[in-house]
Structure 1
Amino acid sequence: MLKLLCISVLLLAIDYIWIEESKRKKVVARDIHKPYEVFCPRIGALPNSLILSLALISAGMGKEALISLYLLFIGLFDDVAGLKNMEKVLLAGIPFLIIEGHPVLFLPAFLFPVISFLFGSFSSNATNTLAGYNGLETGLISIVSGFMAIVSVFQGNEAALTSYLIVLSCYLPFLFFNIYPARAFPGNAATFQMGGVVAAIALSNGQEIPLGIMMIPYLADFLLKMASFRSTFRKIPASVDENGYISPPGNLSLAGVLLRIKKMREPQLVISIYGIEAFSCIISLILLLSGFPAK
């Protein structure tokens, strides 16, 4: 625990330096959900992503670390040069094929590569698309990692517990800079890695069912966006009035549905999605404790 605390404290300092240097170099993007003009570093969580991968290596989590690094660079390439949607789907799933197979519910082990590819690709892309509001991506993955750590405690899985705590220790410091009003955005390098590394830990430890239940809000967001895919692909942003209230974006999404139900400012919207995610995590824990199969 002391090592994890040291990592968090170190990252707070490194993040501050990286964010200030990014602003000086003008590696920034406009925060579109503010009623005033403000720009923030757009790949602000890169140090966190790199140190997360190194921490996993030092903890002996070789496969998880390799997947983490791979997704970091895929996301970084998307930040710099851009990737097509299908390229993101295909490229994100490839590294999960290295995870050793096991049966999942009623599905035999020989189907595990298919499950691993689809689950890993979905998790990586989902944390990259349920995004765009201050503190949303980093906060959600912190909630998921925290609850998956609790799952690991109940299962007596020390390796998985250590891995999720590493994820928390590396991304919670960035939340300090990303929470409303954000001083930095995580960037695709981090958002691809966030979901992917948690999926890699879960798949390696037979915890894909609890994590899958926790990912239901991400699935809902994905299905809503696919239901209005033409507007989704046009990427019509939400608008903000002079009082900071956000109008729903042009496409359907989890955030869009909430904004259609109630008029909200950005912090209220993010907290509402946090609540939905926490509810899904609690349901997952209840099912696990009631004997719902974790493998």
Structure 2
Amino acid sequence: MLSFAIALMTSYLVTKKWIEIARRRGLVGKDMNKEGDIKVAEAGGIGFIMGLAMGLLFMVAVNAFVYDNMSSIVYLLASLSVALMAAFVGFVDDVLGWKKGLSHRAKVISTLPIAVPLMAVKAGVSRMKIPFIGSIDLGIAYPLVVVPVGVVGAANAFNMIAGLNGLEASMSLIINGTLAVIALTHKAWISFAVAMSVLGATLGFWIWNKYPAKVFPGDVFTYTSGALIATIAILGNMEGPALMLFIPYFIELMLYIRGKLNGVEKESWGVPRGGCLEPPYDKCYSVTHVAMKILKKVKGCATEKEVVLLINAFEAVLAIIVLYLYVFRGW
């Protein structure tokens, strides 16, 4: 809980200061989901990273000075290394213009080294529990294949459902909160410690990112959050729950492929008209577009807040199912 509190306060205060600096330096972007030329500070994930780092380093200090538990320190520092490497890739993407000059394939390739810290310490358990399949032992293929695929895949997938105020941070809170509960009930203490630091740092950032956002998360936040979800799952042997919680991102991938096949360069945001958001295309190429169309059909108008809440509600339902299966049914 102290790690959570330290991460929260650090993230909140650093993000607040970052907003001032970013606006003063002109590091701002247009809020595409609002009418008018509303500018918002970019790359706000910097505050999240600082909060996470302080939370994790507090846990390192506790294990070093109180418990003298070096094995836990190795995994905590490996988790921090994953976060810092993901943040570096995201920051370069946000600040140095890779968004305009780097292809999606190149972005994926640039995230490949993120998994190296977990591979180096042979993190995780090679025996995995897969939903509806059962338990399988992958041996050496787990650290050398599953870990990098999981980390890189999660980092890039989490970057796909984005673009609305508070969406990325709120999805992270639901997913990491669910994994934290499972880790606690299964006594996966390192995984739980990392999850609590992530939750605190995310909450501190979300306060500034929620509607109406004063800061955008940027790839600094999305790449790091996705990579850390995979890290928490690997450390706690929770690959099954993580896969189920990522169902919206699998749907997003299918919609993205649909857009590619139709020659559409997918954008997640909507077209603002009179306080409502209209999907930018006739067909749906993102989960956000699906939410906009559902709300328009049900109540005639899809506001930005309602779109985010509907997607969060879908994720929350998945979280309840996962908790039922893995906490109460003992999967």
1:155-174 correspondence to structure 2 within 5 Å: 155-174=186-205
Q: Which has the larger radius of gyration?
A: 2
- The answer for the alignment partner of 2:127 in structure 1 is 103
Q: What amino acid is the match of 2:34?
A: K
Residue 287 (structure 1) aligns with: 325
- The amino acid of 2:136's aligned partner reads F
Aligned residue for 1:40, secondary structure, equals strand
Percent of matched pairs sharing the same residue:
26
The question of 1:269 aligning with 2:269 is answered: no
1:2-41 map, 5 Å? 2-41=2-41
Q: Secondary structure at the match of 1:182?
A: coil
> d(CA) in 1 for partners of 2:56 and 2:44?
20
Quote the Cα distance in structure 2 between the aligned partners of 1:232 and 1:196: 29
**Residue from 72, 90, 94 that aligns with 2:113:** 94
Kindly provide the amino acid, as one letter, of the partner of residue 180 in structure 2. Answer: A
The whole-number CA distance in structure 1 between the counterparts of 2:308 and 2:194 is 26
Give the one of 145, 152, 155 matched to 1:114: 145
Tell me the distance in 1 between the aligned counterparts of 2:264 and 2:53. 32
Please list every run of 5 or more consecutive structure 2 residues that lacks an aligned counterpart in the other structure.
Answer: 60-72, 129-134, 297-301
1:72 matched residue in structure 2: 87
C-alpha distance in structure 2 between counterparts of 1:2 and 1:201, whole Å: 19
- 1:156 positional shift: 1.4
One-letter amino acid of the structure 1 residue matched with residue 103 of structure 2:
K
Q: Find runs of 4+ consecutive structure 1 residues off by over 6 angstroms.
A: none
* Cα distance in 2 for residues equivalent to 1:20 and 1:142: 25
Aligned-residue offset at 1:62:
1.4
> In the alignment, residue 236 of structure 2 is paired with which amino acid?
N
Residue 286 of structure 2 aligns with an amino acid whose one-letter code is S
Question: 1:291 corresponds to which letter in structure 2?
Answer: G
Q: In the alignment, which residue of structure 2 is the partner of 1:256?
A: 289
Are 1:213 and 2:244 counterparts?
yes
Check 1:107–1:249 CA distance in 2 against 1; reply closer, same or farther (3 A cut): farther
Q: Retained in 2: the 8 A contact 1:226–1:232? A: no
Q: Alignment RMSD, CA only?
A: 2.0
Alignment of 1:41-60 (within 5 A): 41-59=41-59, 60=73
Give the TM-score taking structure 2 as reference length. 0.82
Q: Is the 8 A contact 2:10 2:201 kept in 1?
A: no
Is 1:81 matched with 2:100? no
Cα 1:184–1:232, aligned 2, differ >3 Å: closer, same or farther?
farther
Deviations, residues 239-287 of structure 1 (Å, cap 9, x unaligned):
4343221111335111112222232110000000001111111111122
- Report the Cα distance in structure 1 between the residues aligned to 2:240 and 2:53, rounded to whole angstroms: 24
Q: How far apart, CA to CA, are the structure 2 residues paired with 1:18 and 1:229?
A: 36
Distance 1:180 1:160, change over 3 A: same
SS at match of 2:136: coil
Return closer, same or farther for 1:151/1:238 CA change in 2, 3 Å cut-off: closer
1:175 to 189, 193, 206: 206
Which consecutive residues of structure 1, in runs of 5 or more, have no partner in the other structure? Answer: none
Q: Is the 8 A contact 2:172 2:225 kept in 1?
A: yes
State whether residues 217 and 280 of structure 1, in contact with CA within 8 Å, keep that contact through their aligned partners in structure 2. no
Q: TM-score, structure 1 length as denominator?
A: 0.92
